[in-house]
Amino acid sequence: MDDWTEEIVIEDRTLTVRPIREDDVDRLRRLFYRLSPETVYWRFFQPVKQPSEKLLHHLAEVDHDLRQAIVAELDDELIAVVRYDRTSASSIAEVAVLVEDAWQGHGVGRKLLRRLAADALEHGVTEMSATVLGQNQRALRLAHHVAPDTHGQLDQGEWLLDFHLPAAGTGVRSA
C-alpha cells in the first residue's frame, strides 16, 4: 500500500492529500451524503439514493497499482477522490474525479488529478481516458486545463476523452 501524505492549501484551508485506505469506507459514505443529486448523477451516470456496501468497499479497497485512488481530507472528512482503474498489463487507465459540491471550482480536482497522473506514470500508465456526460462542462474544462492535449469524441451524449501522460516533469499543467 502506498503510505504518503502531502498538504495543499486551498481557500486558506490546509487539506491532506493521501492514497485512499480500506478504513475510508465510512468517510466515503459520509461524503456521498453531502453530494448534490446532480454531482452524484455526473459521477455515476444515474441517480443513486444510497451507495451499497459493496460499492463503498470496492471504491475504498484498491491495490494502489492497477487501481489507485487519492483523496483530499479536511478535519477527518473526505472532500474529494480521484481514481484510476486499468486492466492487468494495460498502460491505459480510466480516470474518475469526484469533488464535494462546496469545494468544486476551487482547484481541488486539478491538484488531485495532477497528483494522480504522477502516480499513474510511476505505475506504467501512459494514457488516461474518461467518460463525461455531455452537459458536465466543469469536468470537460478540468480535463483540458490539466491536459491541454486532451482529445474528445462525443458519442450519444457522452464525451469519450483521452490524453497521453507526458514524461515526468513535462506536459501536464501544474497550476
How large is the average pLDDT for residues 75-92? 90
Q: What is the pLDDT of residue 168?
A: 52
Interacting residues of 75 by C-beta distance below 8 A, sequence separation 6+: none
Residue located via cell numbers 463525461: 132
Task: Evaluate if residue 85 carries a pLDDT over 50.
Answer: yes
Contact 28, 78 (CB under 8 A): yes
Q: How do residues 8-37 score in pLDDT, each as one tens digit?
A: 999 899 999 999 999 999 999 999 999 988
Task: Evaluate if residue 110 carries a pLDDT over 50.
Answer: yes
Name the DSSP letter for residue 64: S
Q: How confident is the model at residue 51 (pLDDT cuts 50, 70, 90)?
A: confident
Task: Evaluate if residue 72 carries a pLDDT over 60.
Answer: yes
Q: What is the pLDDT of residue 169?
A: 47
Q: What is the pLDDT of residue 147?
A: 75
Residue 50, all three cell numbers: 444510497
Q: How confident is the model at residue 2 (pLDDT cuts 50, 70, 90)?
A: low
Higher pLDDT among residues 132 and 47, named by residue: 132
Q: How do residues 121-173 score in pLDDT, each as one tens digit?
A: 888 898 888 877 777 778 777 777 777 777 878 788 777 888 888 765 444 44
Q: Where are the alpha helices (DSSP H) in the chain?
A: 25-34, 37-44, 53-60, 108-122, 137-146
Task: Please tell me the least confidently modeled range out of 57-71, 82-96, 110-124, 151-165.
Answer: 151-165
Length of the chain equals 175
